[in-house]
Chains A and B, each alone.
Chain A
């Protein structure tokens, strides 16, 4: 079992090696860049010797095949700390006639070492008509132009097509030893043809006559719209060729400066014979579809429907061919059915779906008419028809439902009927212009509107400050008493003033003393009963009051004591002076303490 597995693995490895045109034989490796060649072009063959240095080994003469040595290249490899000097000998194999050629197997000696050249087969093709795909046709034209650094070829997949038959188009840009930039999509002269848009370009490399070219392929598809002998092309591609700018190169800082030279390459044109679609045998409902198609069909609802309600027929066309010119399948007419224009969804390469709505007008309708899709198959050169239906259906009475007539067409590809007045079926104009505003004036651009956003910030800070103060007043007794001191002193001084106006000296001095005592008790958060001139003086000094004010306060309290507790005749001017001094002290201490 294990042996079988090893054999299988070896076989797979051998096949892989063969498919990559590489064969290894001890210290010799043979590399072919292709196994198929068109007459006039060549295949490059490399013989890589692991350890060799001498001249190229001679190749045997093969009838119909010319093998010439092109160049020798040194190869240096390093393996297990050992430097190995090898050699690559490049040969060109040029076929002189079409056919299959076998090279080897044969043994040969090179620098006293024996090697075996394994059997290798090469196919030479005489003409491009043998090959169906445009890529190989391209290599013929490319071979003729291979001396140019940049050239363009135009290839088509068929030179004989029917009207509306899709064929592949390839514009292939070759370039070597040149840097191209800003390569534009090809411009293609296509009078009498409809060309689809080009797909994204593909890059690759190709060996032509021993030269390695970069290629950029632009692929598309096209179809003829008129019969006859037509010319397709030429194609032209514009690009910028980048060359080193000699003036800029002299500058130390712009050594790699490139200069763009706008250039374009043009291909040859192609002769295409366009055959009209035969008139004979055209089936009913044929609308110009060319290709090989299938039709999937679906009906909803399938069995029962009310008169006036819609039935949806979904027809999905898939396959290979011209989807651009593919029209909706033909549906047999029935007087009792209203037909709407189909809604179309498509992918230009793979499918087209027609969604057709039909409405039975009355319960007299008993079947959905047959659907017929006909196309012309260009390979078989015959017409093919796909028929679906008719399908029986039960239509119930409409009741009060009014069967609608089709009002607007959702036909997307055809012009609206000429007699259909535009604007029919729209809602009437508005009577008022509404809120007119300056064009492009948005609220977010309005400075005034943006300024309004300060309000919430201001509101927040107002609430924050107010709340903080309120909390402090509520929780900090000292702060509350300090805040309360001034307004209360004002009230008490007013009471003293009243006593003065009534000429009641005893009460006046009593009120005045209590007022000032309470004022300072509140200011310094002291029990009122314990407030004396000494305590006030001590606290004022601690609070940093000026000696002048402290002196004033002390004198005021002393005078008050004298006035209150000595037998004394109260004089109004003195009382007014005392009141004035009290006011002055209250005002002075308001800010200071």
Chain B
């Protein structure tokens, strides 16, 4: 027994070591460098030098790092520069990583109120709207942690089942955990599918003609305004087939939108 306990501790230690040398970690030097750059950008913003502030924020982004606060500040800077589409895009990216942040929500709401595109939220099927709302409450990492906790709880329940002979309550608890686990797994799968495989975008140009065909001379199907939400279906030769919130499909130039 003593040997098993010793081995367990050793294994836990090794696994913890392995976990924290994963892809999420980066060196303290880089961390400090990014924080300094962020502070500089914030000072420039404070001094109303929005162009320089934006450049500094973009430097951090180009280094390969991101955070909700970074996207949020970029959104504010874009808004100050009058680039509404880019501002909404940045806020959406921030919200994707931090769905509960009230500041992001408030500024995004404000930015959306400045767009010329009529609201099409009600155009979607009610069930899709509900699903989108629920999915918007979670992040991929949040769901992953939730799943890991459920996983650990399940095994703890199993341990208690082994230790106690009369464990009807434990069995029920384990069954409930399995059910919740399946639900959370489904959510996570849908979330990953939505983030990794569905390209949602924001129109960056003032007014974009969506055409029936990927040709300059093709008939205009409908108009899209800066800040409009779209889903990119496919891209071909500098053109992208997109779907508007009311499910209308058309072709626009690929440089007219940014992916959230």
Which residues of A line the B interface, CB within 8 A?
Answer: 184-188, 195, 197, 238, 344-346, 408-410, 412-416, 422-423, 425-439, 441-449, 451-460, 462-467, 469-470
Contacts and interface: CB of A to CB of B under 8 A. Distances in A.
B22 A448 contact: yes
Contacts, number: 185
B72 to A, nearest CB: 6
24 contacts: A345-B122, A408-B110, A412-B116, A413-B118, A423-B76, A426-B107, A429-B73, A429-B76, A430-B73, A433-B38, A438-B24, A438-B66, A439-B61, A443-B144, A448-B24, A449-B22, A451-B19, A452-B148, A455-B152, A462-B5, A463-B159, A463-B162, A466-B4, A467-B163
Contacts of B248: 197
A422 B31 contact: no
A334 B167 CA distance: 75
A445 B23 contact: yes
A431 B118 CA distance: 34
B134 interface: no
Interface string B76-102: 110110101000000000000000000
Sort chain B's interface into a size bin. 35 or more
Contacts of A408: 110, 113-114
A452 B151 CA distance: 11
B180 interface: no
B144 A434 contact: no
Nearest to B4: A462
B116 A413 contact: yes
Determine which residue in B22, B60, B77, B122 has the highest number of CB atoms from chain A within 10 A of its CB, and name it: B22
Contact of A464 (B7, B65, B162): B162
Contacts of A452: 15-16, 18-19, 148
A446 B79 contact: no
A422 B82 contact: yes
B122 A444 contact: no
Contacts of B18: 448, 451-452
Main secondary structure of the interface of B (DSSP, over half): helix
Nearest to B158: A460
Contacts of A410: 113
Given A438-B65, A442-B141, A430 B4 contact: no
Interface of B: 1, 4-5, 7-8, 11-12, 15-16, 18-24, 26, 31, 34-35, 38, 42, 45, 60-61, 64-70, 72-73, 76-77, 79-80, 82, 84, 103, 106-107, 110-111, 113-119, 122, 140-141, 144-145, 148, 151-152, 154-156, 158-159, 162-163, 188, 192, 212-213, 217-219, 221-222, 248
Contact of B1 (A413, A415, A416, A466): A466
Top 9 A-B pairs ranked by shortest CB distance? A448-B22, A456-B155, A448-B19, A430-B69, A423-B79, A446-B22, A423-B80, A443-B144, A433-B38
B144 A436 contact: no
A423 B248 CA distance: 31
A187 B70 CA distance: 45
A458 B11 contact: yes
Nearest to A414: B116
B240 to A, nearest CB: 18
A188 B211 CA distance: 12
A409 B113 CA distance: 7
Nearest to A469: B1
Contact of B152 (A186, A422, A456): A456
Contacts of A344: 118
B144 A444 contact: yes
Contacts of A467: 162-163
A422 B219 contact: no
Given A429-B76, A436-B65, A456-B151, A197 B113 contact: no
Contacts of B24: 437-438, 441, 443, 446, 448-449
A197 B145 CA distance: 47
B19 A459 contact: no
A439 B80 CA distance: 25
Nearest to A429: B73
Contacts of B155: 456-457, 459-460
B118 A412 contact: yes
A427 B159 contact: no
Contact of A422 (B22, B67, B84, B145): B84
Contacts of B114: 408, 416, 422
Contacts of B31: 436
Contacts of A197: 221-222, 248
Given A423-B76, A430-B103, A439 B64 contact: yes
Contacts of A437: 24, 65-67
A442 B144 contact: yes
Contacts of A470: 1
B84 A444 contact: no
Contact of B21 (A345, A413, A448): A448
